[in-house]
Amino acid sequence: MAKTFSRDEVAKHNTEDSLWFIVDSKVYDVTEFVDAHPGGESVLRQVAGQDATVAFYNLHRHEVLSKYEDLCIGTIEGEKPQVVTPKPGDLSTVPYAEPLWLTPQFKSPYYNESHRRLQKAVRIFTDTYTTPEAQARELDGKHISQELVDRMAEKGMLHMRLGPGKHLHGVNLLDGAVKGEEFDYFHDLVMTQEGVRSNARGFQDGQLSGLTIGLPCVMNYMKDQKRRKAIMDEVFSGKKYICLAITEAFAGSDVAGLRTTATKTPDGKHYIVNGTKKWITNGVFSDYFVTGVKTDKGLSVLFIERGEGVETKTIKTSYSTAAGTAYITFDNVKVPVENLLGEENKGIYVILSNFNHERWAMACATIRQCRTIVEECLKWSHQRLVFGKRLIEQPAIRQKLAKMIALTEANQAWLESITYQMCHMPYKQQSQHLGGPIGLLKMSITRAAHEIADEAVQIFGGRGLTQSGMGRVVEMFNRTYKFDAILGGAEEVLGDLGVRQAMRQMPNAKL
């Protein structure tokens, strides 16, 4: 049974030989910890024998108490801790920290019980297994562990990364949280938004995002059904890794400008591939490369296995090398013609086929990340003391928070509206009508992320520029939000796409 102490008893322990203090009604004995304290011993001696709750939360994240829980020796008699310590799977009670459909007092027409079961199951999985590894790998730059991949595969989480479809039918999805046959784009939205809550942007892409954008090309365009199933089984089981290799130093959004070539051998049985690819996510550790190439009369897509002539090198970017971002060299790589995905010289259709889903998923993720920053700023502004007041008491800070909340909620609402259309349109209609709106949505939220990152750093000050401590989540976001403004199509390109699609529908209307 935990010991209890009076505040007078704690006050006596303020000497060199015995140093105690109180944080949130819990008593900590830091006598042996003083020399090891990262902030120096003088800070601890200033609060010896006192209630240090306000001082502690002015300098530390709540999670620090969990890290040093062995220093807690009891509680203050007649008192209970007031600060919420979230458990795996818990919803945040901070206003706007969760989308409105997860806030008890609000209703939504879009979600049913299966979405709520899935959300709960994914959050428990993420909090328990993903976040601890994500934080560690973001720092050390190592790639995702096979142990975590195996866990994800076992729970059907790799299957769900591709969105709704027959590939989910009969698959055990998180121990029955949702049936594969009923999995829709709102389940997909839940998976994506819950999955990025680990706040480790490099690891987020390293968590097999190459599968999300690369495997659909195999699933939909490989002609040999037996081979297609074998490859999909390997990837879904986590035994093989795949990536999409389109971008080059010569061509990013300008896909038609690719220079990697694929020339047929005289006997017509193979392609010989030569060229380079750059900024390929997961390329460093992938076994398979869905590769855009120039053939004799246009653009084609080949499925290339790692082997002789394929070389990958790590590219260091603003986020962690846990993403496996690669520079790839193809040097006289011999590829069977059976590895052609789709039709020769019509590869643009293969590449474009998954753009809507990729961009939509990126919008899901960025909105969730913005919401996390809103939560961080609300917490910080309530606990940080400046000039004798909490930050939240400053009108300028409240104005910044209002802007951040409004941008996040507006984009979430737009996202859900588009997701509803996706649930009620066949693929052909999605391609015809949603490319523009999804492009505009992605542009909108990455522009919002720019504003939110700026305001968040101003609220956190120097801590928002520091990779550890109170502002680490804001620092990460500020350093990496531009990835989503570039990957999957630059803001300017997608904005133009949205307007050009609208132009095609423009009637002969006059003012």
pLDDT tens per residue across all 511 residues of the chain = 479 999 999 999 999 899 999 999 999 999 999 989 988 889 899 999 999 999 999 889 999 998 899 999 999 999 999 998 899 999 999 999 999 999 999 999 999 999 999 999 999 999 999 999 999 999 999 999 999 999 999 999 999 999 999 999 999 999 999 999 999 999 999 999 999 999 999 999 999 999 999 999 999 999 999 999 999 999 999 999 999 999 999 887 777 789 999 999 999 999 999 999 999 999 999 999 999 999 999 999 999 999 999 999 999 999 999 999 999 999 999 999 999 999 999 999 999 898 999 999 999 999 999 999 999 999 999 999 998 899 999 999 999 999 999 999 999 999 999 999 999 999 989 989 999 999 999 999 999 999 999 999 999 999 999 999 999 999 999 999 999 999 999 999 999 999 999 999 999 999 9
**CA 7/CA 421 separation, integer angstroms:** 60
Residue 153 CA, chain-centre distance (Å), reads 18
How many other CB atoms are found less than 10 A from the CB of residue 85? Answer: 11
How many other CB atoms are found less than 10 A from the CB of residue 230? Answer: 12
Are residues 210 and 290 in contact, defined by beta-carbon separation less than 8 angstroms? no
**CA 121/CA 264 separation, integer angstroms:** 49
Residue ranges of alpha helices (H) inside 68-179 are 113-125, 131-140, 146-154, 157-160
Please give the structure tokens belonging to residue 294: 């120039």
The size of the chain, in residues, is: 511
Q: Note the pTM of the prediction, 2 decimals.
A: 0.93
**CA 234/CA 240 separation, integer angstroms:** 5
**Those residues with Cβ within 8 angstroms of residue 80's Cβ, 6 or more apart along the chain or in another chain:** 25
Q: How high is the pLDDT of residue 255?
A: 78
Parallel, antiparallel, or unpaired: how do β-strands 298-305 and 340-341 relate? antiparallel
Half-sphere exposure of 439 (CA within 13 A, CB side): 25
Half-sphere exposure of 319 (CA within 13 A, CB side): 29
Sign of CA dihedral 247, 190, 379, 393: positive
**CA 225/CA 223 separation, integer angstroms:** 6
Q: Helix (H, G, I), strand (E, B), or coil: what is residue 176?
A: coil
Q: Helix (H, G, I), strand (E, B), or coil: what is residue 257?
A: helix
Q: How high is the pLDDT of residue 84?
A: 86
Q: Helix (H, G, I), strand (E, B), or coil: what is residue 297?
A: coil
Q: Helix (H, G, I), strand (E, B), or coil: what is residue 225?
A: helix
